Amino acid sequence: MKSGYTYIMTNKRHTVLYVGCTIDLAWRVAQHKSHFYKGSFTDRYNCEQCVYYESFPDYKSAIRRENQMKNMRRSEKIALIEAVNPEWKELV
């Protein structure tokens, strides 16, 4: 079974947080940065910076974590980001 990643993207001002999951993090972040899917949430809100990610041994675990994170409050997501990336630097 393939490994997976759960990640958080944001815009330049950090006003929007997008949670997603993928099997190829670099490729997926490149899609967000290039606005590959026109009209998508990340395209509309210019979410081009990956500021947080977690890796998992299998994709199903990444999907479960994505669902958990989507149900978190914004403050909880910010706490996750700042625990590993306090300066909100681009990670991918």
What pLDDT does 20 receive? Answer: 97
What phi and psi, each to the nearest 5 degrees, are found at residue 29?
Answer: -65, -40
The owner of tokens 């395209």 is 43
What pLDDT does 10 receive? Answer: 98
- Architecture, CATH, for domain 4-84: 3-Layer(aba) Sandwich (3.40)
What residue segments make up the domains of the chain, in order of their start?
4-84
What pLDDT does 62 receive? Answer: 98
What pLDDT does 2 receive? Answer: 87
How distant is the alpha carbon of residue 47 from its chain centre? 9
Q: Along the 92 residues of the chain, how does pLDDT read in single tens digits?
A: 789 999 999 999 999 999 999 999 999 999 999 999 999 999 999 999 999 999 999 999 999 999 999 999 999 999 999 999 999 999 99
